[in-house]
């Protein structure tokens, strides 16, 4: 079979046979600042080594970390194009990197957040449209972080997560990443609603290992294509062994 450039890139970040993927996310320091993660070594190279040795399908980072990592380590990088800080309450992610720049930095895919239901949703949707245009020009896969921000509702409210995930699929992102809704029953509805694209769950707040492994099993049992794990891996002292276990649950021996 002959694959086009975009499909070749997608095949690097999601197993073309099983349609499963294990990504690692490390965009947190932009969004929450270093103080939030006091006591954790936030060197992007440390995180990249864990990701590389744990054979993840891709590492999600911002452009500066990508530039630093790629000098030392060869692994598929997914460059985040949008960002915000927690120093402002404004629920808006600005475009901070172009697809051209991400490609220049060797990105295998790019990612962008949309806060669905936020006061600034319209601007983020307009930005998403421009990002999609750039992605189709450069045959670059796009992961949409479809994250609810609805007044009076929790971020992981199953009904709004369903809406957010479906929105991403409808608007043409290649992969949807969203919050886990707390149970496989509710998350399976999220996956079903967006069934024409792969749906990934974020790992969420730090929890103990046993609980985290159960979450990974439940995500996979819900029919999701995989996870983008973050704090629950690189935030722990035994990150590599946690990542190995997560990979076994998601991929078995098939990666």
Q: Of the candidates 135, 230, 242, 249, which one interacts with ligand FBP according to CB under 6 A?
A: 230
Choosing from 177, 184, 207, 236, which is the catalytic residue? 177
28: contact with ligand FBP by CB under 6 A = yes
58: contact with ligand FBP by CB under 6 A = no
Kindly tell me which of 5 and 206 has the beta carbon lying closer to ligand FBP: 206
Residue 54 CB partners (closer than 8 Å, separation 6+): 24, 233, 239, 240, 243, 244, 247
Which of these ranges, 91-99, 201-209, 210-218, 243-251, lies near ligand FBP under the rule CB under 6 A?
201-209
Find the binding residues for ligand FBP in span 97-156 (CB under 6 A). Answer: 145, 147
Q: How far is the CB of 55 from ligand FBP (least distance, A)?
A: 18
Using CB atoms within 10 A of its CB, is residue 101 exposed (0-12), middle (13-18) or buried (19+)?
middle
Examine the residue annotation and report whether 155 is marked as an active-site residue of this protein: no
- For residue 60, the SS3 value is strand
Residue burial 8-32, b: 16+ Cβ < 10 Å; e: rest: ebbebbbbeeeebbbbbbbbbbbee
| Angle, CA of 68, 12 and 93, to the nearest 5° | 55
Kindly tell me which of 2 and 35 has the beta carbon lying closer to ligand FBP: 35
Q: How far is the CB of 223 from ligand FBP (least distance, A)?
A: 19
Kindly tell me which of 7 and 186 has the beta carbon lying closer to ligand FBP: 186
Cβ distance 149 to 167 under 8 Å? no
- The tokens describing 201, both together, are 């769950």
Query: How far lies 249's CA from each of 19, 45, 136, 195, 219, in Å?
Result: 14, 25, 33, 21, 10
Q: Of the candidates 117, 144, 203, 226, which one interacts with ligand FBP according to CB under 6 A?
A: 203
Which of these ranges, 6-14, 132-140, 159-167, 196-204, lies near ligand FBP under the rule CB under 6 A?
196-204
Please give the residue ranges that form the binding site for ligand FBP (CB under 6 A): 25, 27-28, 31, 145, 147, 202-204, 228-231
């Amino acid at each position: 079979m002959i694959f086009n450039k975009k499909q070749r890139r997608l095949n690097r970040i999601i197993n073309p046979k099983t349609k499963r993927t294990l990504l690692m996310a490390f965009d947190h320091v932009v969004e929450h600042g270093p103080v939030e993660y006091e006591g954790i070594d936030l060197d992007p190279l440390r995180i990249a080594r864990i990701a590389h040795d744990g054979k993840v399908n891709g590492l999600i980072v911002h452009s500066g970390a990508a530039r630093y990592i790629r000098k030392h380590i060869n692994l598929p990088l997914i460059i985040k194009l949008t960002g915000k800080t927690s120093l402002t309450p404004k629920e808006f992610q600005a475009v901070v990197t172009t697809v051209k720049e991400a490609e220049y930095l060797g990105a295998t895919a790019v990612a962008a957040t949309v806060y669905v239901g936020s006061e600034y949703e319209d601007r983020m949707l307009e930005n998403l449209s421009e990002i999609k245009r750039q992605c189709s020009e450069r045959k670059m896969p796009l992961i949409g972080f479809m994250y609810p921000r609805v007044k009076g509702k929790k971020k992981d409210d199953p009904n709004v997560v369903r809406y957010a995930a479906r929105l991403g699929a409808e608007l043409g992102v290649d992969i949807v990443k969203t919050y886990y809704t707390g149970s496989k029953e509710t998350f399976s509805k999220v996956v079903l609603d967006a069934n024409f694209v792969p749906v990934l769950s974020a790992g969420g707040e730090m929890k103990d290992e046993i609980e985290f492994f159960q979450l990974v099993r439940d995500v996979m049992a819900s029919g999701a294509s995989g996870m983008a794990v973050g704090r629950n891996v690189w935030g722990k002292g035994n990150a590599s062994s946690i990542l190995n276990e997560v990979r076994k649950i998601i991929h078995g021996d098939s990666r």
